[in-house]
Amino acid sequence: MTFFLPFLASALVSFITTPLVILLMKKWRILDDPAKHKQAKVVHTYPVPRGGGIPIFLGLLTSLFFLPLDKHLRGILAGALVALIVGFLDDKFEEKIHPITRLLSNFLAAAIVVGAGIGIAFINNPFGGIFRLDLPKICFNFFGPHCIWLLADILAIFWIAWTMNFVGWSGGVEGQLPGVVVVAALTIASLSLKFSADITQWPVIVLAMITGGAYLGFLLWNFYPQKIMPGYGGKTMAGFLLAVLSLLSTAKVATLMLVLAIPLIDALYLVIKRILTGRAPFWGGREHLHHRLLALGWGKRRIAIFYWLITAALGILALNLNSEAKFYTMFMLIILFLAGILWLNYLSTSLKRPDQDNG
């Protein structure tokens, strides 16, 4: 019950404030209207309010009632606020902020968190032992002693920024993104519960539960047919929070990579493909797995639930596998994903494409 209360509180705040945000977005005409932007990635057919990051952030603020406002929490909330502000501006100006500018804001949010002392001190070697990342380091005295772990901090910043992007790309259909975040956050909470005898893991459990609750409250309004979209802020905040949680929970980066294996492999595949074909890797397109499933005739509800179930199954695996088994599982998932893409390419060319908006 101790850890369920933060989950319930954030879910209620997010759920209750979302309708108010919907009204404001409609009043301010901050809408995603497919008639105005005929982008390849757009799959909805009617104007939908953006700004979903606002109620999610308000749900996240319940952490102030359950956690001490130490430097870590201040850094997390400040980084999330950067994602929210940039996301709101992107929503307001109808995605006219350049992708490079958005990417730089991701690095800024990540740098704020790392500056607050959250980083990757080590990563597990899947074949035994660990890789230390706390060297080389630069120590100095500025209102007290401080040390910068060069390799650890650089990797942490890139990990957070990259996760903000590939998780955000998995928000293609209604309910897909928030459902995945709920499952991933609860997986991290469950992982930390295994070590609940260590009181340093309690804040991680609480923050993971708050993250899951905030996105669950929003999910109820975002599921098909959606009343509001996560917007750029809601998407990047999702990856930001999950990446930070993976660092806080004793650097369980490999665990999060396995839980989010499908959107991660999908993103890597498209980035490599776009670079090899001479295209910008961060420009949107209609090439993600969820787009292929839509082309195959899957409804939006089915795609969202498929992503939830895959994430849940991988989460259960991640909780029960050691580092070496996670490595081999990830390798097998890459092979299966590539085989699946070939199969979907074949089916999409041999079957007639039905209505995309059939739920």
What DSSP letter does each residue of 83-133 carry, written as one string? HHHHHHHHHHTTS-S-HHHHHHHHHHHHHHHHHTT---SEEE-TTSSEEE-
206 contacts 157 by C-beta, under 8 angstroms: no
Give the model confidence (pLDDT) of 167-198 as tens digits: 998 888 999 999 999 999 999 999 888 765 56
Give the per-residue pLDDT at 355: 42
CA–CA dist 141, 337 (Å, integer): 49
Compute, in degrees rounded to 10, the torsion defined by CA atoms 265, 270, 272, 273: 140
β 48-49/137-141 pair status: unpaired
* pLDDT value at 1 more than 60: no
137: which strand partners?
149
β 137-141/145-149 pair status: antiparallel
Q: State the pLDDT confidence band at 359, using cuts at 50, 70 and 90.
A: very low
Structure tokens belonging to residue 103: 């990417």
Residue 250 neighbours by CB under 8 Å, 6+ apart: 195, 201
Q: State the pLDDT confidence band at 296, using cuts at 50, 70 and 90.
A: confident
Give the per-residue pLDDT at 358: 40
As a whole number of Å, the CA-based R_g of the chain is 20
β 31-32/122-124 pair status: unpaired
CB atoms within 10 A of CB 51: 27
Return the higher-pLDDT residue of 7 and 133.
Answer: 7
Which percentage of the chain shows pLDDT scores above 90? 54
* pLDDT value at 145 more than 70: no
User: In this structure, what are the phi and psi dihedrals at residue 131, rounded to the nearest 5 degrees?
Assistant: -105, 115
User: In this structure, what are the phi and psi dihedrals at residue 141, rounded to the nearest 5 degrees?
Assistant: -120, 115
* pLDDT value at 40 more than 80: no
- Give, for 163, the enclosing helix (H) or strand (E): helix 150-168
Lowest mean per-residue pLDDT among 17-31, 144-158, 314-328, 342-356: 342-356
Global pTM value:
0.90
Closest by CA position to 178, among listed 132, 111, 226: 226
Which amino acid, one-letter code, is at 248?
L
Mean pLDDT of 209-213: 97
Helix (H, G, I), strand (E, B) or coil at 39: coil
Cα→Cα distances 350→108, 308, 347, Å: 45, 28, 5
Give the model confidence (pLDDT) of 218-246 as tens digits: 999 999 999 999 999 999 999 999 999 99
Give the per-residue pLDDT at 349: 64
Tokens 């199969």 correspond to what residue? 343
